[in-house]
Structure 1
């Protein structure tokens, strides 16, 4: 039985469906589905306590927190390992909580999450550095926007913010050019892989089981409870959108609590939950962000993170550095249209960094780092942001959606968890456990 497997706290990181097929998990019930040939295939039905869909940093944080509170947790992810999508393709920056409207979820969870994150990193030996950040105005027209950020950060309770005149900032960073700057001493960097690995370990030490290469196809509401339709990821590899996904179902899970932390696929998945009011599902938008690495440098040009004034869809092409000293600039914003279900389900996005995009990076970076040399940027990596607002639209807040919105008991949908989602992860997990565990 699945419940028995979890109770024994087995460190299971294989495939749930394949394990059932091989007899490693017994079925508590049997259902049937019609195969394309007309024959009927047996579909196992399993009960579970808590199911977390998605093993990104947020899913891992939620699983850890639920497990800490004594719950049995099953984490399902379509990829072969944790953190395969957005969580491994970001700036690795710990945000302070400056950019977001007061009382918004982004402001609340970023500030609280930063505190929890630094504490966690210190207690668990996760490499990190609170190096501080300078948000810079490179022209007089940007100063009012910098003043607004100072106001927002102060309203959000970010400690230590200080406005600097240009000469003060350039005294701190001699290679910087700006007319004014906002100093955020609470900002920093961390090793994202080490953090996620630690969260996995803590979750497994508790009552969490991981099943990779396992895709949640959709589900249905039955008796005000969500039933999840599950299949091996490899069974979808040849899917072209023509055949119904429901025909590929190999397992049915009946959990007490489901946390949909599917990130890029969260909305597409929720639309496949039959019996839910789909009008409450927010629209999904996708923005690719590319990073370029600095080559031929003997060391980072700055001791602080350096950010320009935010742009539409992002925080601007900024300077950051990882804990090995590798300098990177990015991300930019490239809106992506026409994303289909299979791309979001199986993370089949185009992550290739076109070297020609560097042509747009040079002038943006030279606004605050004029010494940047020609031909010094090399393609790095890219990530996709799961956004709730599109081009020319104001930024949207996080959406944490429970039964009061969609009417289904025990289902929590997490939508639009982009930046500062990584910084906010432990705080969001804390909130979910406190609000939805009964």
Structure 2
């Protein structure tokens, strides 16, 4: 036996997925360190999204996205309830705003059934309007298991579980690199004011937008196996005035994403978004001129949207593994079988439904490493 390690497991990235990985490892009795380059947890992808709990309707049968979304969603509601994190199982309507879209939402219904999503119902337009009178719908699918939640409260609860299990979450601690040790495990270089080098038996990289950079900083990681990163930016607009619907409202998906949808947030306000634009560098600005484009799209399902009622809110960037016009790939959880480095799990492309899937991703990572 070699000398003991400073930590059994080190996780890079303290967003929802990194923290869920840390929790799952800590629950198995491991000493866990989570490194976060920002000054607080959850400042990246995890804090700039729709805060939606997805049912699991859209993803190809047998994919990690389909499996982890359904498993993660079931676990998430239990976790939120037991930790008293604010959430609302409001349900979702996937709407056909014209006859030509009915066939598309039927395909989503069938995919949801194949993915074991509970409680799905076909609704006529009249039935959908009985639930949401201001809605334009020729037909709809009701997914009662969808909801919204306080993602930051969730991440704080995950951090609390890690720390209760003897683990540590360190912020302002960027991952500078790692190298395999001769007898197993890793030497890990941490930057920031408290710069140090530590040893860890296991290493998980889950830093969202920085996933490719983190992998490239690990000595011996095959460069040809690091997938190309594409930045998918989406902006959100908030409604001035009373929220028109209680349920989530989703038109059929757009190429490469679920598209602009509606949610009533936990504060009771209406939020619309995101769209999808591919960008080259991280940019979180919201162009107010996009309001006109959003108005046109939203009026397909809410004809009563008043003129000038949308105000710019925020933007998010998703770590996509596909570019414009390319098929949407699955989550990547790459272990030794892929990259050849024992004890390392590198996560790539953890975008939607990554937040909903986070507990299931964490469990899968811990199971494969321990």
* TM-score bin (small chain): over 0.9
1:102 CA displacement? 0.5
Separation of aligned partners in 2, 1:181 and 1:373: 24
SS in 2 for 1:274: coil
Structure 2 SS opposite 1:148: helix
2:214 pairs with one of 255, 269, 285:
269
**Aligned counterparts, 1:210-289, within 5 A:** 210-223=169-182, 225-232=185-192, 250-289=195-234
Q: Does 1:398 align with 2:331?
A: yes
Q: Distance in 1 between matches of 2:187 and 2:6?
A: 9
Kept after mapping to 2: 8 A contact 1:163/1:183? yes
Q: Counterpart of 2:85?
A: 126
Residues 71-92 of structure 1: CA deviation (Å, up to 9, x unaligned): 1001101000100111111111
Q: Does 1:435 align with 2:368?
A: yes
User: Aligned equivalents of 2:362 and 2:44: distance in 1?
Assistant: 19
Q: Does 1:302 align with 2:245?
A: yes
Would you say 1:97 and 2:50 are equivalent positions? no
* Deviating 4+ runs (over 4 angstroms): none
Which residue of structure 2 aligns with residue 368 of structure 1?
301
The aligned runs of 1:28-67 (5 Å cut-off) are 47-67=6-26
Question: TM-score, length-normalised on structure 2?
Answer: 0.96
| Structure 2 residue 165 is matched with structure 1 residue 206 | yes
Q: Distance in 2 between matches of 1:139 and 1:271?
A: 47
Q: 1:329 aligns with which of 267, 272, 289?
A: 272
The equivalent position to 2:111 in structure 1, one of 152, 162, 169, is 152
Structure 1 residue 193 displacement after superposition? 1.4
Using the TM superposition, give the Cα deviation of residue 211 of structure 1 relative to its aligned residue in structure 2, in angstroms.
1.3
Cα drift, residue 229 of structure 1:
2.3
Instruction: Name the count of aligned residue pairs.
Output: 367
Whole-Å separation in 1 of the counterparts to 2:117 and 2:237? 30
State the distance in 1 between where 2:361 and 2:134 align.
38
Say whether 1:411 aligns with 2:344: yes
1:225 to partner: Cα distance: 4.1
Distance 2:146 2:49 in 1: 15
Instruction: Please state how far the C-alpha of 1:222 moved relative to its aligned partner.
Output: 4.0
Max Rg structure? 1
Distance 1:253 1:403 in 2: 21
**Partner residue in 2 for 1:75:** 34
**Deviation readout 1:76-123 (Å, 9 max, x if unpaired):** 010001001111111111000001000000000000001000011111
Q: Which consecutive unaligned segments of at least 5 residues does structure 2 have?
A: none
Structure 1 gaps of 5+ residues are: 1-28, 30-45, 236-249, 340-348
Q: Is the 8 A contact 2:87 2:149 kept in 1?
A: yes
CA contact (8 A) 1:176 1:368 kept: yes
Q: Secondary structure at the match of 1:51?
A: strand
Q: Distance in 2 between matches of 1:413 and 1:193?
A: 24
Measure, in 2, the Cα distance between the counterparts of 1:154 and 1:49. Answer: 40
Check the 8 A contact 1:136/1:306 in 2, yes or no.
Answer: yes
Residues 225 and 408 in structure 1, CA contact (< 8 A), matched pair in contact too: no
Cα distance in 1 between the residues matched to 2:186 and 2:139: 53
Counterpart Cα distance in 1 of 2:290 and 2:188: 41
SS at match of 2:302: coil
1:273 and 1:119 map into 2 onto residues whose CA distance is: 36
Give the alignment partner of residue 313 of structure 1, picking from 256, 273, 281.
256
Residue 251 of structure 1, CA deviation: 2.6
Q: Tell me the equivalent position of 2:288.
A: 355
2:108 counterpart SS class: helix
Residue deviations 1:16-61 (CA, integer Å, cap 9, x gap)? xxxxxxxxxxxxx9xxxxxxxxxxxxxxxx7321101000011111
Q: Distance in 2 between matches of 1:385 and 1:286?
A: 6
**Is the CA contact (8 Å cut-off) linking 2:11 and 2:203 kept in structure 1?**
yes
